[in-house]
Chains A and B, each alone.
Chain A
């Protein structure tokens, strides 16, 4: 079946550092890529998204890059804070498949003060 892979599986950084989270997907028909953050005990929180007809999207400290040819995305987080500590997920969505999300295993980010 279709898959999403996330690398690295975990990251530990000091407050203020920048981090890069990478995602790759296999479904060529995927057209939409929302990113979510899941803090312990809290709900999945939507943080940023990109459509397959875009290459870049930026909001505050987040920059999301998308390469359709290589089926690869990367999320750059600058000036990290302890509140950024969470598991980050980058599912893919194929509207032709009833828009169900296909998920990777997440990237665990720990930001130490």
Chain B
């Protein structure tokens, strides 16, 4: 069973506001992924980290999001200026590595509603 922790579980913001969510990966997992799941079950990869370094991020994340995974602190994902289209479930996953069969284990998600 996954032990990834995400806070808060729910977040309500107005358009233009910042929205910040946090993730504590499983102990000993140096790789962290963030995905967005919309109400139609479409998943979008946002960014991933190995230790504190960004491995890959999509254009949207680079332009509108701020993300980090500092050592000895929770990882965080922050939307700088929320838009209605950002309303979704934000999922954090962690894994032991990037190899074959390094399973990604998920947190419960942060559900963001942008009014």
Contacts and interface: CB of A to CB of B under 8 A. Distances in A.
B48 A43 contact: no
Nearest to B98: A99
Contacts of B4: 43
Interface in B34-51: 35, 40-43, 45, 48
A79 to B, nearest CB: 22
Interface residues of B, number: 29
A25 interface: no
B66 interface: no
A51 B100 contact: yes
Given A45-B2, A100-B48, A31 B100 contact: yes
Interface stretch (B14-22, B68-76, B102-110): B102-110
Q: Main SS of the interface on chain B?
A: loop
User: In which size bucket is the chain A interface?
Assistant: 20 to 34
A98 B98 contact: yes
Interface string A77-108: 00000000001010101010111110101100
A84 B19 CA distance: 34
A106 B37 CA distance: 11
Contact of A98 (B2, B43, B48): B48
Interface of B: 1-2, 4, 31, 33, 35, 40-43, 45, 48, 55-56, 91, 93, 95, 98-109
Interface of A: 31-32, 34, 36, 42-46, 49, 51, 87, 89, 91, 93, 95, 97-101, 103, 105-106
